[in-house]
Structure 1
Amino acid sequence: MPYDLGATVRLTAECQDPGGTLTSADTATLTVTLPGGATATPVAAETGPGTYQADYVSSVPGRHTVRWIFTGPADAYTDSFDVRPLAPPTILSLADAKRHLKLPLVRSDRDDEIGGWTESITRGIEGLCGPVVVRTVEERHDVRQAGAIVLRHVPALEIISVIPLRPAGPCYAVDDLDLDPDTGVVRRLGGGTLTGLLLCIYTAGRPIISANITAAARIIIQHLWRTTQGPGRPQLGTGDFDVSEPIPGFGYAIPNRALQLLEPDRLPPGMA
């Protein structure tokens, strides 16, 4: 499960001899490779015969690789863990999700699991409706004398900057551009064309998340939570938490009632 940025990650491993028996090693070396390629070497301590532990304080979001090397006997173990961004976009807060699931609000060992669900639900809803949580987007557009640029993420709220990436490329002041939030179309107010390899930086999402989207997110997390509490996959049918058919890209993760609530905000085919 992903860890929050800045959290302490407890890393464990076992050293076994060729016969599979736990054995104290002469040396135990732990290397953590960060997403950018830098490495850290937390000090490992033996907690029992052949069992080792080290604590690593996360400082960079992304996938980390863990490599244990033992000598005397020779053994090795590789693993990985993920660290969330500082503020991952989620429609539901952890507290909101726990209230809806009728779980205690005190910190527990299920928080990472529930946090992972809230991130997954947000991705699923945004895959159908476009950005919901407001965030800054950067994207490149290679334009050749076009009357407009179409931003890829809508609703698009505000253009922050349009930066030419080719030497001597034309510059466009934000105040001279018009943005249609619903379509993402950007045009020059005075007319004329846009050209060049441009880096468009803008904000996208919904400043106020409508009640139907929040309600759909609550239904989905309850639906997914139910699947972890007993055997079997979500049932097909017509009930509130049933799925009549899988959604392309999301399988059986989004039940009927949530889809009905999301319908007013779903993007047209081809835009999702």
Structure 2
Amino acid sequence: MAYDLGAVAQLDATVTDAAGNPADSDTMTLTITLPDDSTVSVDPVTPTSTGSYSYAYTTTQPGRHLVRWLGTGTNPFAQADVFDVREQAPVAIVSLADAKAQLNEASNVDDDELRGYVTGASLAVERELGTIVARRPFSERRTADSDGQILLSNVPVLAVTGAVSADGTTTWAAADLDVDTDTGLVTAVAGAAPLAGDVDCTYTAGLRIVPDDYQLATSIIIQHLWETQRGRSGAVPGGSTEPEYMSGRGFALPRRALELLDTPLPGVA
């Protein structure tokens, strides 16, 4: 389950006795391990009804959260689970409304699940293109070469907001840095301290204007994955079917989507 940052994650556990009937543990504790490895502990958790435990946790960090329920005493219980919290800037080449329009979906029942498909399809498109499409911030540590240059991992770069040496002794403001937006090559401007050693960089990458063919390809992939997940055979309008291409990176990408992205097709030299 994925939540937006700041949303309330509803965590639940159900305890039964040896006969399978709802029953309380003598004590129940809940531990949530956050992405930064800090923990939130609730001890004890009071049952809302016999055998039912619930806790509403307001999320504060993006990333993977680990959940651990532990009941002791007459009816011992242990359960581990996870949930994810999305970054504030979603990875989305198309909007939820666009995806629903592609699926002719009017109901809001599947919105949370569908948003996961939007993110997955968007990441697949970016991997096929080898470039960032959905504009969002990045933070990463890079090592300067002997010429005082750093090559950022994600392009095109829209802006470098700042950098700081890994040991914290030197800071570069945005005005101190020059960046080649296409390659991600960063250097210090004349008069600023040269980049050296390991440097932590913060920047934004992506496209300010997303081409229509990128958006359409993403929508097609969403539709393909959504219908496949629901047991449909991948029929296209007119009743025909097309061969599927398994990209080798966890996504089955329809041929028509790859053609829109202008990426090499399997078996085509």
CA gap of 1:246–1:28, structure 2 versus 1, over 3 A, is same
Is 2:11 the counterpart of 1:3?
no
For the 8 Å contact 1:159–1:200, the answer to whether it is kept is: yes
| Matching residue's letter, 1:21 | G
* Cα distance in 1 between the residues matched to 2:215 and 2:206: 14
Is 2:256 the counterpart of 1:257?
yes
CA gap of 1:222–1:175, structure 2 versus 1, over 3 A, is same
For the 8 Å contact 1:25–1:71, the answer to whether it is kept is: no
For the 8 Å contact 1:136–1:202, the answer to whether it is kept is: yes
Aligned to 2:98: 96
Is 2:138 the counterpart of 1:140?
no
Is 2:68 the counterpart of 1:69?
no
Q: Which runs of 5+ in 1 are unaligned?
A: 267-272
Q: Which moved more, 1:220-229 or 1:22-31?
A: 22-31
Aligned to 2:161: 160
CA gap of 1:205–1:38, structure 2 versus 1, over 3 A, is same
Count of equivalent residues: 254
Aligned to 1:269: none
* Alignment map for 1:206-217 (pairs within 5 Å): 206-217=207-218
Aligned to 1:205: 206
Aligned to 1:32: 31
CA gap of 1:168–1:188, structure 2 versus 1, over 3 A, is closer
* Cα distance in 1 between the residues matched to 2:153 and 2:240: 33
> Percent same amino acid among aligned pairs?
31
Aligned to 2:12: 12
**What's the offset of the Cα at 1:241?**
7.0
Q: Which moved more, 1:70-79 or 1:134-143?
A: 70-79
For the 8 Å contact 1:34–1:64, the answer to whether it is kept is: yes
Deviation track 1:146-179 (CA, whole Å, cap 9, x = no partner) reads 263221111111122232234765x656445432
Aligned to 2:267: none
CA gap of 1:112–1:190, structure 2 versus 1, over 3 A, is same
Aligned to 2:151: 150
Aligned to 1:21: 20
**What's the offset of the Cα at 1:240?**
8.4
Other structure's SS at 1:158 match: strand
For the 8 Å contact 2:118–2:222, the answer to whether it is kept is: yes
* Cα distance in 1 between the residues matched to 2:22 and 2:174: 65
Other structure's SS at 1:96 match: helix
Given the two structures, how large is their TM-score scaled by the length of structure 1?
0.79
Is 2:180 the counterpart of 1:183?
no
* Cα distance in 2 between the residues matched to 1:55 and 1:241: 47
Q: Which moved more, 1:173-182 or 1:133-142?
A: 173-182
Aligned to 2:246: 246
Aligned to 2:116: 116
* Cα distance in 1 between the residues matched to 2:126 and 2:95: 16
For the 8 Å contact 2:165–2:197, the answer to whether it is kept is: yes
* Cα distance in 2 between the residues matched to 1:24 and 1:168: 58
Q: Which runs of 5+ in 2 are unaligned?
A: 265-269
* Cα distance in 2 between the residues matched to 1:25 and 1:230: 40
Given the two structures, how large is their TM-score scaled by the length of structure 2?
0.79
**What's the offset of the Cα at 1:112?**
1.6
* Cα distance in 1 between the residues matched to 2:57 and 2:168: 42
**What's the offset of the Cα at 1:209?**
1.2
CA gap of 1:29–1:168, structure 2 versus 1, over 3 A, is closer
Other structure's SS at 2:2 match: coil
For the 8 Å contact 1:14–1:22, the answer to whether it is kept is: no
